Structure 1
Amino acid sequence: MYLERIKSPKDIKGFTVGQLDVLASEIRRGILNRVSNRGGHVGPNLGITEAVVALNYVFNTPEDKFVFDVSHQIYPHKMLTGRAFGYIDDARFDEVSGYSSPLESPEYDCFEIGHTSTSVSLATGLQKARDLRGGNENIVAVIGDGSLSGGEAFEGLDTAAELNTNIIIVVNDNEMSIAENHGGLYGNLRLLRETSGRAELNFFKAMGFEYLYVEEGNDISCLIEAFVAVKDTPRPTVVHIHTEKGHGYSPAVENKEAWHWCVPFDLSTGNPKGEDTGEYMPALLGEWLREEIKRDSKLVCIAAGVPAAVGFGPKEREEAGSQFVDVGIAEEQAVAMASGMAKGGARPVFSTYATFLQRTYDQLAQDLCVNGNPAVINVIGASIFGMNDFTHICFFDIPMLSHIPNLVYLAPTTYEELIAMERWAICQDMYSVAIRVPEWGVRHSDIEYDTDYSHLNTYRMMRKGKDIAIIAAGDFYRKGENVADMLNENGIEATLINPRYLSGIDENMLEDLKATHRLVVTIEDGCLDGGFGERIARFYGPSDMKVLCFGVRKALYDRYDVNVLMEDNHLTDEQIMADIMTVF
């Protein structure tokens, strides 16, 4: 087995093409071994395996620099740079992340990369720095899986062309994003594929790039020939390679969207391992939205490259027809478009993961909220129970969103409250509204929820007590219930409050608590710094009221165990109870 003996790309320089083909097969087995046991990005890595082998064969890393977009195409590169153990040794999976990481390999991984459309922009920085110091190394950016639809990708291309020095951009064209590609640019990529790169209409040439097309993007010999031809080029150059997403594993080829990323699965059948864990709140929300579309012709659901975030698979997208829009990996466009749609009389609902929504701060603040247009933003995965790679952490949303003027940020606690808030947000025409969709399991309730949330920042007192008041938001309302029960068992009848609004405080209720309470406890499923609890503490600052805030300390947490994270941040019910009794 070649792979076990490879410590760096220098170890493959003397390989024949036949040996490189064998090596690619070993890499593919390593990818499948890891993802079938741990989950991860399947199709993107299988499809780019041959290209990464050829890149490492032709170029001289670490002197030459590779930057992988999104870095969910980096598994083969990791295996060729001394980290094969993370793929072929089941006991060492945890030593390797799913993304580019200088913490693992400062020589071969230039950047921590988890978000899309960044590789070309980052590479232009390396390009400019090299030019300033008179270097001559090749700068290679790899981009694919729909990432060209992101605005930063265009900005990077724009700058790279103007710098007009060596930069090689490998466009991995597998005809897919996470789902299908969207955007006019992909029509030109299709035309270039159909003409073997000879079409007069060429987006890359129009921007000023040299251009080379490789039809057989999974053929190592063809790739080597192309990369040798562009190595050490003095000009910005695009190598457009046509690959097959999921190449070498038939389930991933036959259903490319489902196999972009997957949970652990049985390698022989492709079936997921483990039992279905039951209801999932974003999926339930998607079901409700799809039914609502049938009743409301003005309602439009918007996605940005991740339509499955709320259960819009291929069938559901087709059924929704013109009432579903996927803008590709372009969240900024989604927010601005939603604002424009709301202005024009439609009822837009944009749903995406909290980590990706970070790219849209200016559009939320300027294009949407300054204009006061009544679009709805569903924030998915915003919880410590969401994604846990530190490039994908989803619990910094409250500091980001709750401080944008004119944005109402709501935190439902149950499915029924979520739907009540969603229905109001869609039908009203007064506010821009974001809704933090619960992630920590699905809770149901027969409580009668409000149908009108236009009286802003009115909290709901669920239990009236004295001495201690617990204000527990969203997903962590259940923690508030648990702690209130524990206090009750200790003879303290605590007040329990569902704040509902993360973007403002109920000054009247908070003021009233002063008369009969000595301690206010806030509990939030998110970052403490700039979070919900700090706003409460600031209100009580000039008074004698004590405030105890529970949440997650600001840090970059990588691949954390959620139970350990809660313990480290004193977020278990028992720890919260103990801390309360210490200060009470």
Structure 2
Amino acid sequence: MPKTLLSTINSPNDLKRLAQEQLPQLAQEIRSFIITIVATKEGHLGASLGVVELTIALHYVFNTPIDNLIWDVGHQAYGHKILTGRKDVFETNRQLNGISGFPKIDESIYDAFGTGHSSTSISAILGMAIAANIKGDITKNHIAVIGDASIASGMAFEGLNHGGVTNANVLIILNDNAIGIDPSVGALKKYLTNVKKGTAKDENIFECLNFNYTGPIDGHNINDLIKELKRLQNIKGPKLLHVITTKGKGLKQAEENQVTYHAPGKFNKTTGDLIPKNNLVQAPKYQDVFGHTIVELALNNKNIVGITPAMPTGSSLKYMMEKIPDRAFDVGIAEQHAVTLAAGMVKEGLIPFCNIYSTFLQRAYDQVIHDVALQNLPVIFCLDRAGLVGQDGATHHGIYDIAFLRCIPNLIIFAPLNEIELRNIMYTAQLGLKHPIAIRYPRGRGENVDWKKKFKKINIGSSQELKKGTKIAVISTGTIGNLVSKVINDLDSNTEIGHYSMPFIKPLDTNRLKSICTNYEAIISIEDGCISGGFGSAISEFVLDNTYKNTIKILGVPDVFIEHGSLEELHKIAKIDYTTIKKSINELRLS
């Protein structure tokens, strides 16, 4: 079997030894390598396939890692990882103790900056370039690759606004493929489309921001890329290269169905066809419960609107966008804008359901406090992907929302036990709450196949006694309560153990807590969020404030960053798995 070009490359120095005419063959081999592994190991596919030629050209021209190179967002960095010494371990991508699906500064010297969330690259690369100027290193290059969806974010524009009035040696490469995870939206998308068609107005937006603009050029023509990068290498100051690529390039299905093949799951590496999953009747995904329920509610309440920052498919707001398009809004990668937009809508009598992944709400914290809670505007936040999310790892785990929201006045926090409770709290919220509410629910499927029940109003601050006991009270919040019920039911002798579901993390059911503290010796709290400042902390504060003497044990995610792996593996690491919960209960029983 003939030796491949890729087999000879373990670093960019090896890449530079190839003749330029060999690079198209290398691009084909890298695409085949990515497709072969992602087909069975899963992961992000389309974004990295689209930038193979650009990845090769950047490492061929520039002196990485001396020259800094940042990928924004890191979905598109697979080729970069393969060319920078991680080819032999690439099959461990996103698996426990394997390499990350995103660039990480502690994984490789070639990863200049960690990028799991979007739109951070321009600010980071500008900071590095300014630092180089201050240190007198004027020969070093600083390159950021950012997509057309990411560059529309406010933070990216803040970086461009600053960068244009500096003499920093930065090169921003705009990877324009007209899609992020879902198709790009907004006025900037229309502008870039006009640029590609040659119908844009005479003034160029990036030149107006004092960037030396070049393009658009074909991002799959490796010779043109290398020629232009070599030219730009010798031009100082802020520069922007506009590159046109096709997401999913090299795999027909990924090019034609770019949303699905962003992260397609397992597929046939030869045909590209998705491998069908079993046809067993399953409980719905929580995101679909949200998506179908908001449509059901909105058809009966003309004031309901839906908002998502760039995740209509991932959040399932797509169902409302299809059926009631004039009341469903994808605002692009703009979480801050999404929150304050919702606040403005509430002020004028609308009822916005603002659906944001838990990890991305972190990006709009000031808006939650200043624009919503401080003014006590009843925005309904639906926080998808709350808790540990699995193989996307530390940048995407939604484990901090309870802690960072619990300290905000006026804000209600609710974590449903199951999809029926999710439906009912959505129904309750649109009836006319006097305060904003955050409803957090996990990635993945629920508990009930028959979930579309008649709506019931939930009393704010209420809880449920799932099982009465005599000695130990286990208090859970959210869907992890289903695992707790299984543990308790499986114990041989469990008359001592009570189980209480408290979906309202704020306000707590204080009457229920008083009864628990009076009638039980010990309390175990459990949550799929961080222990520090979380639900268990709230229980402990109540016990302390009311001078109860109960023994308390808090189970939740410890004060460390949990990396990537399967949900089962990560729950075990966090010690909120079946075995650890059972062990914790038994230890208290025997004490």
Task: Indicate how the Cα distance of structure 1 residues 93 and 43 shifts in structure 2: closer, same or farther if over 3 A, else same.
Answer: farther
Deviations 1:514-537 (A, max 9, x none): 332111111111211111011111
Contact 1:30 1:88 in 2 (8 A): no
Q: Distance in 2 between matches of 1:89 and 1:356?
A: 26
- Change over 3 Å in CA distance of 1:484–1:13 after alignment to 2: closer
2:158 corresponding residue in structure 1: 155
Q: Equivalent residue for 2:354?
A: 350
Which residue identity is paired with 2:120?
T
SS in 2 for 1:526: strand
1:203 to partner: Cα distance = 1.2
1:104-156 Cα deviation digits (max 9, x unpaired): 212x1112220000111110110111001011201111100510121111111
Deviation, structure 1 residue 438: 4.2
1:332 maps to which residue?
336
Does 2:65 align with 1:62? Answer: yes
Asked whether the 8 Å contact 1:40–1:262 carries over to 2, the reply is yes
Paired amino acid for 1:564: E
Q: CA deviation at 1:5?
A: 0.8
Residue 548 of structure 1 and its aligned partner are, at CA, apart by 1.4
Indicate the residue corresponding to 2:206 in structure 1: 204
Q: 1:42 is matched with which residue?
A: 45
Residues 46 and 245 in structure 1, CA contact (< 8 A), matched pair in contact too: yes
Query: What residue is the counterpart of 2:572 in the other structure?
Result: 567
Q: Which amino acid aligns with 2:315?
A: V
SS of 1:520's equivalent? strand
- Distance 1:448-1:173 versus aligned 2 partners, 3 A rule: closer
- Matches of 1:517 and 1:367 in 2, distance apart? 42
Structure 2 counterpart of 1:291:
296
Aligned to 1:397: 401
Residue number in structure 2 paired with 1:383: 387
Contact 2:461-2:507 at 8 Å conserved across structures: yes
The CA distance in 2 between the partners of 1:227 and 1:111, in whole Å, is 21
Matched-pair contact (CA < 8 Å) for 2:555–2:576: yes
The residue that corresponds to 2:100 in the other structure is 97
Ranges in structure 2 where 5+ consecutive residues have no aligned partner? none
Q: Secondary structure, in 3 states, of the residue corresponding to 1:497?
A: strand
Distance 1:423 1:501 in 2: 15
| Residue-by-residue CA offset, 1:199-247 (whole Å, 9 max, x unaligned) | 5221111111110003312101111121111103221000011111111
Residues 1:386 and 1:402: Cα distance change in structure 2 (over 3 Å): farther
CA contact (8 A) 2:564 2:570 kept: no
Query: Which stretch of the first structure deviates more once superposed, 221-230 or 93-102?
Result: 93-102
Alpha carbons of 1:384 and 1:434: their partners in 2 closer, same or farther (altered >3 Å)? Answer: same
CA distance in 1, matches of 2:174, 2:326: 30
The corresponding residue for 1:246 is: 248
Q: Which residue of 2 aligns with 1:127?
A: 129
Number of the residue aligned with 2:314: 309
User: What is the identity, as a one-letter code, of the residue corresponding to 1:424?
Assistant: T
1:83 aligns with 2:50: no
Aligned to 1:280: 285
Give, in angstroms, the shift of residue 499 of structure 1.
Answer: 1.0
Contact kept in structure 2, 1:68 and 1:74, CA below 8 Å: yes
**Structure 2 match to 1:467:** 471
Question: What do residues 259-287 of structure 1 show as CA deviations (whole Å, max 9, x unaligned)?
Answer: 22221211233333352573212112212
Q: Which residue of 1 aligns with 2:6?
A: 3
AA aligned to 1:426 is Q
CA distance change for structure 1 residues 491 and 56 in 2, over 3 Å: closer, same or farther? closer
Does 88-97 or 275-284 show the bigger shift? 88-97
Contact kept in structure 1, 2:148 and 2:174, CA below 8 Å: no
Distance 1:83 1:573, change over 3 A: closer
Deviation at 1:388, TM superposition (A): 4.3
Give, in whole Å, the separation in 1 of the partners of 2:55 and 2:34. Answer: 13
**Which residue in 2 is equivalent to 1:319?**
323
3-state SS of 2:22 partner: helix
Contact 1:44 1:145 in 2 (8 A): no
1:72 to 70, 75, 84: 75
Cα distance in 1, alignment partners of residues 579 and 67 from structure 2: 53
Letter in 1 for 2:340: A
SS of residue paired to 2:164: helix
Query: Which of 260, 264, 267 does residue 266 from structure 2 map onto?
Result: 264
SS in 2 for 1:15: coil
- Decide whether aligned partners of structure 1 residues 467 and 191 sit closer, same or farther in structure 2, where only a CA change above 3 A counts: same
From 564, 569, 583, the equivalent of 1:578 is: 583
The match for 2:188 is 185
Pair 1:66–1:356, CA change in 2 (3 A): same
Aligned to 2:142: 139
TM-score, length-normalised on structure 1?
0.93
After TM superposition, the structure 1 stretch with the greater mean CA deviation from structure 2, 123-132 or 277-286, is 277-286
Q: In structure 1, give the amino acid aligned to 2:336.
A: E
Which residue identity does 1:579 align to in structure 2? Answer: S
* Higher alpha-carbon deviation: 435-444 or 84-93: 84-93
| Aligned equivalents of 2:461, 2:391: Cα separation in 1 | 29
Equivalent position SS for 1:521:
strand
- CA deviation after TM superposition for structure 1 residue 312, in Å: 4.0
Deviations 1:342-385 (A, max 9, x none): 11111111212211121111111111111111211111111235
Letter in 2 for 1:209: F
- Residue 15 (structure 1) aligned with residue 13 (structure 2): no
Q: Which amino acid in the other structure matches residue 365 of structure 2?
A: Y
State the 1:547 CA deviation: 1.1
Q: Which one of the candidate residues 548, 557, 574 is aligned to 2:553?
A: 548
In structure 1, the gaps of 5 or more residues are none
Q: What is the DSSP-based 3-state SS (H/G/I as helix, E as strand, rest coil) of the residue aligned with 2:521?
A: strand
Q: Hey, what's the Cα distance between the residues in 2 that align with 1:144 and 1:431? A: 37
SS in 1 for 2:362: helix
Q: 1:51 to 1:522 in 2, by over 3 A?
A: same
1:292-320, Cα deviation, whole Å (9 max, x unpaired): 3333222211111111123244x763432
Deviates more, 1:518-527 or 1:134-143: 518-527
Task: Give me the whole-angstrom Cα distance separating, in 2, the residues matched to 1:490 and 1:65.
Answer: 61
Could you tell me whether the CA contact under 8 Å between 1:213 and 1:239 is conserved in 2?
Answer: yes
| Kept after mapping to 2: 8 A contact 1:386/1:394 | no
Higher mean alpha-carbon deviation, 457-466 vs 30-39, is at 457-466
2: CA distance, partners of 1:352 / 1:210: 35
Tell me the amino acid that sits aligned with residue 56 of structure 1.
H
Cα distance between partner residues in 1 of 2:478 and 2:90: 38
Separation (CA, whole Å) in 2 of partners of 1:362 and 1:95: 35
Shift of 1:423: 0.7
**1:174–1:245 CA contact under 8 A, matched in 2:** yes
1:570 touches 1:576 (CA, 8 Å); kept in 2?
yes
- Distance in 1 separating the partners of 2:583 and 2:60: 59
Aligned position for 2:416: 412
Question: Which residue does 1:29 correspond to in 2?
Answer: 32
Query: How far 1:96 sits from its partner (Å)?
Result: 2.8
Aligned Cα RMSD in Å?
Answer: 2.5
Query: Structure 1: which amino acid aligns with 2:67?
Result: D
CA, structure 1 residues 386+396, in 2 after alignment: closer, same or farther (shift >3 Å)? farther
Q: Report which stretch shifted further, 561-570 or 496-505.
A: 561-570
Identify which range, 272-281 or 294-303, moves more after superposition: 272-281
Task: Answer whether contact 2:41 2:91 (CA < 8 A) is retained.
Answer: no
SS state at 1:230 partner:
helix
Question: Which residue of structure 1 aligns with residue 220 of structure 2?
Answer: 218
**Closer/same/farther in 2, CA of residues 561 and 250 from structure 1, 3 Å limit:** closer
Is this contact kept in 1: 2:484–2:581, CA < 8 A?
Answer: no
1:174 is the counterpart of 2:177 = yes
